[in-house]
Structure 1
Amino acid sequence: MTKETPFIFDQIHIEVARAASDDFNLFHDKHKWLQVTHNPFKGPIVLGFQMNTLIEHQMKLYREAHHEDKIIAENQLRFSNYQITFVNALRPRQELSLDIKKTLIATIPELTLTNRIAIKSQGKTILLGYKKETKAPLFLGDTDLSGLPDLNAVPDKSVVPGTDFFLKRKWLTNGNVKNFLSGSLAEQSDYFDELEHMAHYPEVFPCSLTSGALLEKAQLENHDFKRNPMVYTSHDFSVDRVHLEQVKNNDKLHILVKQLPESKHNTLNQTSIMLRTYECYGVLENRAILFRIKLNLVPLEEIIKNLSSKTH
């Protein structure tokens, strides 16, 4: 059983989403995409976290329609997990379909709800992945951040003393969240209603702020975004729903970013292209870990080289 609905992102959706999440990557800019060396995309492209939010919203509707939200609540499956592999870029005005496969419910080793998901456009696969509901985080679950110093005392955009973590401090605001939802073709009134005093933060938005944090880290390292652009190849992340329920307007969020050493054992599938892997955490003011993300990026130049070597 599948659910396929056509959607279209316009350039205004991209602009709203990137402004709401402070993502200044040139790939999404309607003017500056031209400045990216050897840009194969021939125009601006949709944000990865924008597509993740579309998936989040459609999965929310799917869970409600199949009464799976009750299973999640009754069994205290507090972690929402996304496992996303990016295959192709998506341009504005390209009609796309989101395919959600029927939920598989496993009970061993513990209760897990799993759905396969795919976004396709113009006969091409844009992304593939899974959405899973679990009791424990599927990604970076063993990390213990209790030994960190008081993050409130660490200057913004600096390395946390005694660690490999770069710190970017953000504030979560209802306005940015609503804009990001609308920019991601999600219905913001399903999450916010001032007259009913309803404000439920979506799962992906806080995670989306890691893109801006990575860009600011790269900028401080004098990375040349025009000559050496990087593209996401995958997003793996776990969001703690219990902590998310406590999030409210103007809450502080500490984003911690750790870059792992590049290795010949960590490459893009079936290639020799080394992945640049980042482990990122969203930590609330009370030290609770809101999200854990493992991101993989590669230089665009390497992908183009690999493609051209296959065609010659």
Structure 2
Amino acid sequence: MTEQTFQFEQIHIEVARNASDDFNLFHDKHKWLQITHNPFKGPIVLGFQLNTLIEYQMRLYREAHQEDKIIADRGLRFSNYQITFVNALRPRQEMTLDIKKTLIATIPELTLTNRVAIKSQGKTILLGYKKETKTPLFLANTDLSGLPDLNALADDSIVPGTDFFLKRKWMHNGNVKNFLSGSLAEQSAYFDELAHIASYPEVFPCCLTSGALLEKAQLEHHDFKANPMVYTSHDISVDRCLVQRLKNNDKLHILVKQLPESKDNTLNHTDILLRTYECYGVLEDREILFRIKLNLVPLEEIVRNLSAKPQS
């Protein structure tokens, strides 16, 4: 088990949100005040910032325990993050990241699993797992081969014959470095111009999904001030072999599909309906870089649920 202490500053949030084009008001040092009934009393850290911190610390953990060699030798090409967000984290709020000892399973397939937790001021910020597998844990059966040529479609459009919203992005080394630094990860572990090293992290391409969701909502005339949404979970599978091939100016198609809301899909057995999205990062040659299933809920529903609970 390893436990380390960290602290984000507001500048880390600014750098990360600018690098990922995330204009959510929750992270803005001025506009957070414009959010109706905002309980957080200030800007909050991005969920994908926390995921990236976990990625980097897990990388160090794997290297220290020589588990990176197992991953390479056994062809565990998929990196999976199963994250549940419990509370928000503010800048200048000391937090601890706890990584539990690796569990190795062989049935149904070889899997390396670590439980992770972030806590601050006596509260749990997030709980989850980091898992290494041969096949993706999430949205593994998705077949996108029938889609039209995404390169020929307009940005910010619906893919014809589907429910997918398309957002087109390009990889830029500068944005990646900034997001790493904003996430308290050491950028020199990934980039060294003098040594001609440019190794992309796993989570950065995934973080661009937030901006795609925001642009989709904006085109649908969503009111970000009156009806803000917050993440409750991220389930992410990333193809690390494809990540290793990423380079500056590579094109990435982000596909986002909202699933119908259902009374069978609620937050922690409450009556709060989850808004579930399936998201994919597709490279120019149609290969799937990442698969994400994420859940959001309206902030007002969480506030209402909390206020309805009896006070101890």
**Bucket of the pairwise TM-score, normalised by the shorter protein:** over 0.9
1:79 paired with 2:78, answer: yes
5+ long unaligned stretches in structure 2 = none
3-state SS of 1:231 partner: strand
1:88 paired with 2:87, answer: yes
Q: How far off its partner does 1:76 sit?
A: 0.2
Distance (Å, rounded) in 2 between the aligned partners of 1:278 and 1:13: 27
User: Could you say which residue in structure 1 is the equivalent of 2:296?
Assistant: 297
User: Could you say which residue in structure 2 is the equivalent of 1:101?
Assistant: 100
Matches within 5 A, 1:161-200: 161-200=160-199
User: Could you say which residue in structure 2 is the equivalent of 1:282?
Assistant: 281
User: Could you say which residue in structure 1 is the equivalent of 2:2?
Assistant: 3
Distance (Å, rounded) in 2 between the aligned partners of 1:5 and 1:246: 31
Q: Which amino acid aligns with 1:310?
A: K
Distance (Å, rounded) in 2 between the aligned partners of 1:83 and 1:109: 18
The number of equivalent residue pairs is: 311
User: Could you say which residue in structure 2 is the equivalent of 1:67?
Assistant: 66
3-state SS of 1:296 partner: strand
Distance (Å, rounded) in 1 between the aligned partners of 2:242 and 2:221: 35
Percent identical pairs in the alignment equals 83
3-state SS of 1:246 partner: coil
**CA deviation digits over 1:14-56, x for unaligned, max 9?**
0000000000000000000000000000000000000000000
Distance (Å, rounded) in 2 between the aligned partners of 1:309 and 1:96: 28
Distance (Å, rounded) in 2 between the aligned partners of 1:13 and 1:30: 12
Q: How far off its partner does 1:109 sit?
A: 1.1
Distance (Å, rounded) in 2 between the aligned partners of 1:215 and 1:256: 13
Distance (Å, rounded) in 2 between the aligned partners of 1:183 and 1:236: 22
Distance (Å, rounded) in 1 between the aligned partners of 2:269 and 2:165: 31
1:45 paired with 2:13, answer: no
Distance (Å, rounded) in 2 between the aligned partners of 1:7 and 1:159: 41
Matches within 5 A, 1:17-166: 17-166=16-165
Q: How far off its partner does 1:216 sit?
A: 0.1
- Aligned-residue CA RMSD (Å): 0.6
5+ long unaligned stretches in structure 1 = none
Q: How far off its partner does 1:73 sit?
A: 0.1
3-state SS of 2:113 partner: strand
**CA deviation digits over 1:188-214, x for unaligned, max 9?**
000000111101100000000000000
User: Could you say which residue in structure 2 is the equivalent of 1:217?
Assistant: 216
Q: How far off its partner does 1:235 sit?
A: 0.3
Q: How far off its partner does 1:311 sit?
A: 3.0
Runs of 4+ in structure 1 off by over 3 angstroms are none
Distance (Å, rounded) in 1 between the aligned partners of 2:97 and 2:5: 7
User: Could you say which residue in structure 2 is the equivalent of 1:241?
Assistant: 240
Distance (Å, rounded) in 2 between the aligned partners of 1:208 and 1:303: 24
User: Could you say which residue in structure 2 is the equivalent of 1:263?
Assistant: 262
Q: Which amino acid aligns with 2:280?
A: Y
